[in-house]
A and B are shown apart, each in its own frame.
Chain A
């Protein structure tokens, strides 16, 4: 959705502003980091009981 709403051809004047982009990308980044860290921890230590 961030890519879609950052596309000026699609959104015209309503394209994402910088604050929206920063917060949107931060949301995706926070979740991706948590997912990768979880996958690594489960692979090395297993699922918690």
Chain B
């Protein structure tokens, strides 16, 4: 461990009071909330429904990995005062930086399309109006929210909507799973070399350690000009957010495993996925699930669009930042607008929202290691 790291930690341990720690927890929880976007919720639900608790150990394994990856994203941004795309370009040159950033942008736009579909499917559950009719208005609304509202303020309110997913914790207990089985599958790795199991594993890792969060974390640090002071507190905040994100994911899998896997039920629609909340919410499970998905989409889609724009703008050396007015960073906002247009096109053309959500996360699982290493 580096000397400065040790010194900072020792100093931090002396200084930090419980009150200070509690006060520090905030932005990381929002980032953790954005990690559990609709595609993430769908992926965890599918993993629970198709493999039961067999992949719980991957969540336990991925928690410290997720924390470390997010912490180093924040650290490199705070030390160099530069976002990831710019760093990749200036350190490795455009030949390496361009494909890395483009991979992230492609994955983001596909995930945005899938998330828009999920929100549309949730609105179909609430209103009965077919999901395809919701895609275009939703894309317009989300583009407006991303470009014209202050995400920092807006996201604090959205956390209350996403808190709906905390009900998975209650649902999991009320579903009365075999907790011995849950614990065994969480602590003892179980590997099966079948395409279905591996597809679930790649999607689960891809939706947990997801590329757009690295760029979002780094860009956020630079935009807020946080710097290296108080990095110990930032690390606590990041850890809290990521642990909360994975706890939610764990209970989504336990709940869907107990409700759907044990009855050999598949997830083909959003309504099927909502059934995992029935032990807690009974007939209101669909409404609760739909509200949570809409909140998760509202929280995550601006992050996906902005991190794509931060990536492209960093690569090209354009002015960027959500704190800037559109006139001061026109290209940055054009990229946000374009990403919404392409995502909307993808969503309109998709026929199966659940498959789109799941495979977008498989793609994240393929792309993530390249960005983690570089």
Contacts and interface: CB of A to CB of B under 8 A. Distances in A.
B153 interface: no
Contacts of A7: 91
B373 A41 contact: no
Contacts of A47: 195, 199
Contacts of B194: 41, 45, 48
Interface stretch (B252-260, B292-300, B361-369): B361-369
A14 B228 contact: yes
B3, B199, B214 pick with most chain A CB within 10 angstroms:
B199
Interface in B239-293: none
Interface string B188-229: 000001111011011001100100001000000000000010
B69 interface: yes
Contacts, number: 119
A27 B65 contact: yes
B199 A38 contact: yes
Interface residues of A, number: 35
A35 to B, nearest CB: 5
Interface stretch (B13-21, B72-80, B161-169, B317-325): B72-80
B374 interface: yes
A15 B199 CA distance: 35
B72 A20 contact: yes
A14 B79 CA distance: 7
B174 interface: no
A2 B373 contact: yes
B371 interface: yes
B205 A34 contact: yes
Nearest to A43: B195
Given A7-B91, A18-B1, A45 B195 contact: yes
Contact of B372 (A15, A31, A38): A31
A17 B62 contact: no
B76 A30 contact: no
B60 interface: no
B3 A13 contact: yes
> Ordered nearest first, which 8 A-B pairs have the shortest CB separation?
A13-B4, A17-B1, A27-B65, A38-B198, A48-B196, A31-B369, A23-B68, A41-B195
Given A28-B369, A37-B198, 12 more contacts: A1-B214, A3-B373, A4-B76, A4-B88, A17-B2, A18-B1, A27-B69, A27-B372, A34-B365, A35-B366, A38-B202, A48-B195
Interface of A: 1-5, 7, 10-20, 23-24, 26-28, 30-32, 34-35, 37-38, 41-42, 45-48
10 contacts: A1-B372, A4-B76, A11-B76, A12-B4, A18-B1, A23-B68, A27-B68, A28-B372, A31-B372, A48-B195
